[in-house]
Structure 1
Amino acid sequence: MGEVRQIDRAMRKLKRVKPKIYNAIEVKYTGDWKNEKLCAESLSVSTKELRCRVEVGKAFIEGVLLAHAA
């Protein structure tokens, strides 16, 4: 349960610090966005750029979680 709360906190921080990256993660992992091409089009970016943003966001969240764990 605590981990979910930490992830929520990390997502809020990501939204504040890097809104474009947050939007990429939100579009890709919430709602019915299964098709990566549609996700990218909705954000007006290439699929490669979308993948990069999602990876950066994941790394950011993992970093925040590691910082809290230490």
Structure 2
Amino acid sequence: MNANVGTIDRVFRLVAGAAAIAFGYMGGLEAPWNMVAIAAGSVFVLTAAIKFCPLYAIVGASTCSKCKTSEG
């Protein structure tokens, strides 16, 4: 598993994920939407923490300029 999430992308994911989780817990959304917000936020935080996004891998994208690997 190669990293494919760059620094700016990681910061965005952490901030957006934390905000979605907080919004889901603090209110403003009716069930089941609060759980959707918490789940989506958790995915954002997880992908930022492990520096890997499965969706990026599927479409061949990467925001990590230092993480490019040479394929032979």
The alignment's TM-score, normalised by the length of structure 2, stands at 0.41
Larger relative contact order (CA 8 Å, sep ≥ 6): 2
Greater share of helix residues, 1 or 2?
Answer: 1
